């Protein structure tokens, strides 16, 4: 990896963590400068502003989502099993969920209230999962409309578990509820 690519990765990784832990609005450019150890000029060379950094983070997360989906496809030919793997994804993030909430949900929720241009940047994170889940339900025999309704239901259940886990700091709740959702599939 070239130095410029390493610098961009550092900026995105650090900013992603700051946005997740502090929130986008509460993270200043100075926070990013301090945590990366880079100069403001070095950061703005790669990303002209915080919104451009956000776009890079979202792109990385979308690539991560696609990578997870591909891994689930390699792991199982069974759509139900792949949907269970989707549900289990948050179990692996128990500690972070307790402290900070869902990394996708907290960011998207922050923007949905007052910053529609930033909300539009993050919405594809959920839309990607929605479309993939709906395709899995279609492969299980649901019609397109029903599959989309089921996809929205599954997304809302998993996000609800993530939210309540964060609110009550309860790992056992997370595991119990995800097991319950998987049994319903």
Tell me how far apart the alpha carbons of residues 44 and 180 are, in angstroms, rounded to a whole number.
47
Angle, alpha carbons 84-106-154 (nearest 5°): 25
What's the topology of domain 58-184? Tetracycline Repressor; domain 2 (1.10.357)
User: CATH 1.10.10.60 spans which residues of the chain?
Assistant: 1-48
Residue 142 has a pLDDT of 98
Share of the chain above pLDDT 70, in %: 100
What confidence tier does 169 reach under pLDDT thresholds 50, 70, 90? Answer: very high
Residue 184 has a pLDDT of 95
Tell me how far apart the alpha carbons of residues 125 and 108 are, in angstroms, rounded to a whole number.
9
The CATH number of the domain covering residues in 1-48: 1.10.10.60
User: CATH 1.10.357.10 spans which residues of the chain?
Assistant: 58-184
Q: How many CB atoms lie within 10 A of CB 146?
A: 13
């Amino acid at each position: 990896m070239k130095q410029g690519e390493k610098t961009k990765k550092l900026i995105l990784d650090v900013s992603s963590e700051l946005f997740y832990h502090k929130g986008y609005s509460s993270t200043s450019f100075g926070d990013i400068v301090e945590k990366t150890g880079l100069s403001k000029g070095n950061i703005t060379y790669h990303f002209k502003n915080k919104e451009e950094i956000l776009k890079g983070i979202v792109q990385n997360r979308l690539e991560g989502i696609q990578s997870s989906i591909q891994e689930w496809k390699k792991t199982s030919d069974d759509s139900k099993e792949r949907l269970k793997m989707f549900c289990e994804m948050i179990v692996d993030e128990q500690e972070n969920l307790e402290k900070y909430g869902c990394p996708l949900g907290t960011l998207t929720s922050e923007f949905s209230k007052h910053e529609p241009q930033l909300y539009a940047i993050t919405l594809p994170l959920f839309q990607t999962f929605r479309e993939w889940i709906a395709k899995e339900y279609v492969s299980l025999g649901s019609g397109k409309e029903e599959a989309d309704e089921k996809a929205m239901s599954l997304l809302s259940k998993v996000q609800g578990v993530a939210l309540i886990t964060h609110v009550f700091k309860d790992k056992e709740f997370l595991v119990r509820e995800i097991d319950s959702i998987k049994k319903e599939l």
